[in-house]
């Protein structure tokens, strides 16, 4: 089961995402990025974080440890922004923490052009995202970190942020487990991901037993009010059944059509040109910021 810790010091909010997670120090001397139950995304995002994250770890992909964080809003009374304080007040109790990776960097398009990723590792990550319908790992928002950036070990890719995965559980549409999704603009698409080799390796490992073990990590309280299910265990069974059916139908949803770097660059240039044409003359000298990648995020700066 996920470890329980208690937040003892609130460090800072992270405003890079809509959920406004916070960096906290806990009573186990660890530092965690906490996603709050009171965020606009709600508890389903935390359920997705646990399921996809723990499944990734079970399959040998690098993913920071998750913990259950007991959070008292009183420790963040010094937070100056009222909207963040409101979020904390709505999140008293158990929240989800992810182990903080000091000095980790966002895997941005600029970094992607120089960072080596072998085709099998890329294939494994794409395969997991396709299985769990994680539509939020794109060339514009990779939700991948490079860590460590210092030390004797070479930098490696780490997966983060899976709250947007498992889109089926928002309306519990489990009728088409073999449905294919558009992953052409996946963050690792131009690394020639070997998804067929990944499928041959990983699909046999995603058994019903493994899925039951992963679902057991989700707290009852986050599944208790799930519409259509009398108990949290009924909801767990529905996740297990759907994901197992999707694994067995992998041949139908395997993504294989990825644009090259050159094709991606051409698409971006065309998009920028169309945006520029639609601007008033007085705005045409202002650069288009929408097509630009986000600046690198150095998590270590939040610790001061």
Residue 300, pLDDT score:
44
What value does the mean pLDDT take over residues 73-87? 95
Q: Is 14 exposed, middle or buried (0-12, 13-18, 19+ CB in 10 A)?
A: middle
CA 155/CA 112 separation, integer angstroms? 13
Q: Which residue has the higher pLDDT, 33 or 273?
A: 33
Residue 17, pLDDT score:
66
**H or E stretch at 23:** strand 22-26
Confidence of residue 303 (pLDDT cuts 50, 70, 90): very low
What value does the mean pLDDT take over residues 129-156? 89
What value does the mean pLDDT take over residues 280-292? 49
pLDDT at 292 over 60: no
What value does the mean pLDDT take over residues 261-272? 75
**To 10 degrees, the CA torsion angle through 211, 67, 202, 223?**
30
Residue closest to 51 by CA, chosen among 219, 248, 181: 219
Residue 262, pLDDT score:
79
Confidence of residue 114 (pLDDT cuts 50, 70, 90): confident
pLDDT digit string, tens, across residues 33-79: 999 999 998 999 999 999 999 999 999 999 999 999 999 999 999 99
Residue 265, pLDDT score:
74
Name the pairing type of β-strands 144-147 and 156-159.
antiparallel
| Chain mean pLDDT for the chain | 89
What value does the mean pLDDT take over residues 213-219? 98
pLDDT above 70 covers what percent of the chain? 89
Residue 291, pLDDT score:
43
pLDDT at 133 over 70: yes
Residue 288, pLDDT score:
45
Residue 211, pLDDT score:
98
pLDDT at 261 over 80: no
Tokens of 300: 């270590």
Residue 280, pLDDT score:
62
Tokens of 22: 């916070």
CA 133/CA 166 separation, integer angstroms? 5
Question: Taking CA 155 as the corner, what is the angle to CA 259 and CA 99, rounded to the nearest 5 degrees?
Answer: 100
Block residue for tokens 């297990």? 240
How far is the CA of 279 from the CAs of 106, 183, 273, in angstroms?
A: 31, 30, 10
CB 69 within 8 A of CB 5: yes
pLDDT at 286 over 50: no
Residue 295, pLDDT score:
40
Residue 279, pLDDT score:
59
Tokens of 31: 């530092």
pLDDT at 16 over 50: yes
Task: Give exposure, 76-96, as e/b (b: 16+ Cβ within 10 Å).
Answer: beebeeeebeebbeebeebbb
pLDDT at 284 over 60: no
pLDDT above 90 covers what percent of the chain? 74
pLDDT at 165 over 90: yes
């Amino acid at each position: 089961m996920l470890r329980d810790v208690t937040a003892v010091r609130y460090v800072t909010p992270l405003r890079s995402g809509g959920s406004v997670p916070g960096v906290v120090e806990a009573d186990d001397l660890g530092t965690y990025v906490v996603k709050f139950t009171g965020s606009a995304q709600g508890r389903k995002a935390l359920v997705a974080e646990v399921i996809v994250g723990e499944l990734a770890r079970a399959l040998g992909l690098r993913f920071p440890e998750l913990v259950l964080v007991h959070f008292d809003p009183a420790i963040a009374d010094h937070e100056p922004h009222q909207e963040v304080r409101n979020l904390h007040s709505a999140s008293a109790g158990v929240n989800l923490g992810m182990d903080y990776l000091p000095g980790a960097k966002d895997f941005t398009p600029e970094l992607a052009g120089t960072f080596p990723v072998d085709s099998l590792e890329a294939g494994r990550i794409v395969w997991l995202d396709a299985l769990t319908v994680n539509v939020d790992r794109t060339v514009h928002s990779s939700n991948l970190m490079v860590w460590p950036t210092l030390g004797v070990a070479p930098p490696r890719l780490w997966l983060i942020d899976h709250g947007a995965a498992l889109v089926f559980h928002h309306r519990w549409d489990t009728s088409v487990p073999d449905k294919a999704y558009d992953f052409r603009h996946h963050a690792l698409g131009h690394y020639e991901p070997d998804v067929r080799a990944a499928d041959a390796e990983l699909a046999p490992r995603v058994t019903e037993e493994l899925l039951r073990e992963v679902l057991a990590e989700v707290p009852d309280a986050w599944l208790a009010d799930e519409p259509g299910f009398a108990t949290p265990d009924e909801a767990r069974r529905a996740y297990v059944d759907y994901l197992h059916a999707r694994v067995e139908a992998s041949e139908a949803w395997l993504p294989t059509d990825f644009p090259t770097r050159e094709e991606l660059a051409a698409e971006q240039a065309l998009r920028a040109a169309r945006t520029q044409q639609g601007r008033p003359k007085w705005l045409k000298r202002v650069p288009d910021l929408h097509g630009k990648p986000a600046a690198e995020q150095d998590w270590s700066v939040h610790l001061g």
